[in-house]
Structure 1
Amino acid sequence: MQGGVIYDFGMNNGDDVEYYLLKADKVVGVEANPALCKAVEERFAQEIAAGRLVVLNVALSTEDSGRSLDFYTHKTNHVLSQLAAPDLENAEEFERVEVLCRRPSEVIRDHGAPRYVKVDLEGMDGAVLREIFRAGIHPPEISAESHSIDVYAALVDAGYKAFSLVDGWSVAEKYRDAFIETSNGRQAFHFKAHSAGPFGADVRSEWQDPETFFYTLASAGLGWKDIHASYFIEPAPAPSFGKRLGRQTLALARQFLRGARAYVSSKDR
């Protein structure tokens, strides 16, 4: 599968955009840090002029679109910028800026059905997944950081059938000299440090069914790791141990998701 629209939710400095432009007809990059948006606009001026890249300087939120929100940019390490207010002991490391917010589902409806969505929003990943799924949007391929088990549970609940894990720490090494699938055939590509890395068929890790992947994630642990999910990639055959115990753990994951949603609903009241 090539072409279509790719959404980069948490575009950062555009290193992922470089890869996505080789995979899609159009890329929509969303980033709350205005300085990073300006840098990406300069870096990819030709692609923007050609209509292949759209850069949106907004914060993704489940709140009503058009509101202004506080966003906190890190003074020395832009990858640590965040929507949540920093802890008091770290407050001096951040600078507060005001940005408009948009619902992720509205961004997608404005720019077309997604072929792939990357979510990397420093703690907001689960909320963004739930918002687009509630809106009836189910990208064929999607990824989100696994800082919370809620991310895995949301993807399972949405019915994705194949899962894989990309470790953020190993991207620059494991995919230093990678070959990726493009509309013009296989092509060499160098993934940079702090980039999200590949997706879909370009991922070298095994694709597993939801139950087997539960154990893979439990073994790897949460953190700077992207959970990739697909509706059309066929997972590898599951080991026998996973089928017997997997149903129970899958039920627990869904139970956790229901509890997480109830918690979010209670906070909104």
Structure 2
Amino acid sequence: MDKNLIIDVGVHIGQDTEFYLKKGFKVVGIEANPDVYQSTKNRLHSYIEDGQLTLLNVAVSSKDEPITFYANLDKSIWGTTSLDWVNRNQNSFGTSYTEITVEGRRFENILLEFGIPYYLKIDIEGADLLCLQALRQFDTKPKFISIESNKTAWAGLLEEFSLLKELGYQKFKTISQETVCQQVCPSPAKEGKYIQHEFEFGASGLFGEEAPGNWLSESEAIKVYKGVFWYYKIFGVNGIIYRNSIGKRILDTLKIKEPWYDTHASL
């Protein structure tokens, strides 16, 4: 494991990558959308030039071959290689996609090329488990991992925990992404060097020992998610209230939004 390396799977516009770079880490970033990749590459070009950042314009895939990437026309962050995610977002939000052919790479081969990172951040809209499954082939694992938790199927969430446990992860945190903008970097730093940083909406936020909250056991973390899933069932976009037109208007008026969570795991 390279203690100075972070792999950011799902760079998007680079909020997380830039945070890791400022904290002094070397970063390998992965972004499938060619337009977003180019924009982020231009913005972070100085880090690329000095060798601190390697940016890959590929999609994590089950095969090393071209793959269809569905670029969202309303929110670029919803880009995905998963047709199930496309259908879900179209049905829930009425959003539109366009198809792009991009280079697909197995995550196993990316790890072989760049090494096992200290922290692995995964947020690729429906393909997160491909990255976790790739780690089965390696004796060494990242010290910390974070993934965007499954919010559509309880069985899917349990599968995530089962795989993380299989890989040797024993401690967990459930982090609401709605409140990331309120996070403050601790001083002295517990990960990398201390910086003053304001997190933008959509960023993954603090990681490792700096991530907010106490580490939980698997059963404790799953108990937290039981409450989260009840919230989804009542207030979510496919929940009891939202399905009623009057209820939808009330939720929209009160600005009650469906939250999403990241699961952080530690060896």
Specify whether residues 195 and 93 from structure 1 end up closer, same or farther in structure 2 by C-alpha distance, changes over 3 A only.
same
Residues 164-205 of structure 1: per-residue CA shift (max 9 Å, x gap): 111112212x31x43362777433211110111111111111
**TM-score normalised by length of structure 1:** 0.77
Question: Which residue of 1 is the match for residue 223 of structure 2?
Answer: 215
Specify whether residues 185 and 52 from structure 1 end up closer, same or farther in structure 2 by C-alpha distance, changes over 3 A only.
closer
Specify whether residues 185 and 21 from structure 1 end up closer, same or farther in structure 2 by C-alpha distance, changes over 3 A only.
closer
Mapped to 1, the partners of 2:9 and 2:66 lie a distance apart of 18
Question: Which residue of 1 is the match for residue 67 of structure 2?
Answer: 69
- Counterpart code for 2:46: Q
Which 10-residue stretch deviates more, 26-35 or 78-87? Answer: 78-87
Mapped to 2, the partners of 1:89 and 1:80 lie a distance apart of 8
Residues 191-241 of structure 1: per-residue CA shift (max 9 Å, x gap): 11011111111111111122322212222338721110111xxxxxxxxxx
Q: How does 1:50-129 map to 2 (within 5 A)?
A: 50-63=50-63, 65=64, 67-85=65-83, 86-87=86-87, 90=90, 93-129=96-132
Question: Which residue of 1 is the match for residue 178 of structure 2?
Answer: 169
Q: Which has the higher strand share?
A: 1
Say which SS state the counterpart of residue 190 (structure 1) adopts: coil
Question: Which residue of 1 is the match for residue 12 of structure 2?
Answer: 12
- Does the Cα contact within 8 Å between 2:6 and 2:26 map onto a contact in 1? yes
Mapped to 2, the partners of 1:24 and 1:102 lie a distance apart of 27
- Does the Cα contact within 8 Å between 1:125 and 1:151 map onto a contact in 2? no
Mapped to 2, the partners of 1:137 and 1:94 lie a distance apart of 38
- Does the Cα contact within 8 Å between 1:27 and 1:53 map onto a contact in 2? yes
- Counterpart code for 2:76: H
Question: Which residue of 2 is the match for residue 225 of structure 1?
Answer: 261
Q: How does 1:190-269 map to 2 (within 5 A)?
A: 190-221=198-229, 224-231=260-267
Question: Which residue of 2 is the match for residue 245 of structure 1?
Answer: none
- Does the Cα contact within 8 Å between 1:105 and 1:137 map onto a contact in 2? no
Mapped to 2, the partners of 1:46 and 1:226 lie a distance apart of 30
Could you list the runs of 5+ residues in structure 1 that have no partner in the other structure?
232-269
Question: Which residue of 2 is the match for residue 178 of structure 1?
Answer: 185
Question: Which residue of 1 is the match for residue 48 of structure 2?
Answer: 48
- Does the Cα contact within 8 Å between 1:6 and 1:114 map onto a contact in 2? yes
Which one has more relative contact order, counting CA pairs under 8 Å at least 6 apart?
A: 2
Which 10-residue stretch deviates more, 103-112 or 34-43? Answer: 103-112
- Counterpart code for 2:204: A
Mapped to 1, the partners of 2:99 and 2:66 lie a distance apart of 12
Once the two structures are aligned, what percentage of the paired residues are identical? 27
- Does the Cα contact within 8 Å between 2:11 and 2:29 map onto a contact in 1? yes
**TM-score normalised by length of structure 2:** 0.78
- Does the Cα contact within 8 Å between 2:11 and 2:17 map onto a contact in 1? yes
Mapped to 2, the partners of 1:137 and 1:124 lie a distance apart of 22
1:21 shift after superposition: 0.8
RMSD: 2.5
Aligned residues: 227
Could you list the runs of 5+ residues in structure 2 that have no partner in the other structure?
151-155, 233-258
- Does the Cα contact within 8 Å between 1:62 and 1:131 map onto a contact in 2? no
- Does the Cα contact within 8 Å between 2:135 and 2:167 map onto a contact in 1? no
Mapped to 2, the partners of 1:120 and 1:5 lie a distance apart of 17
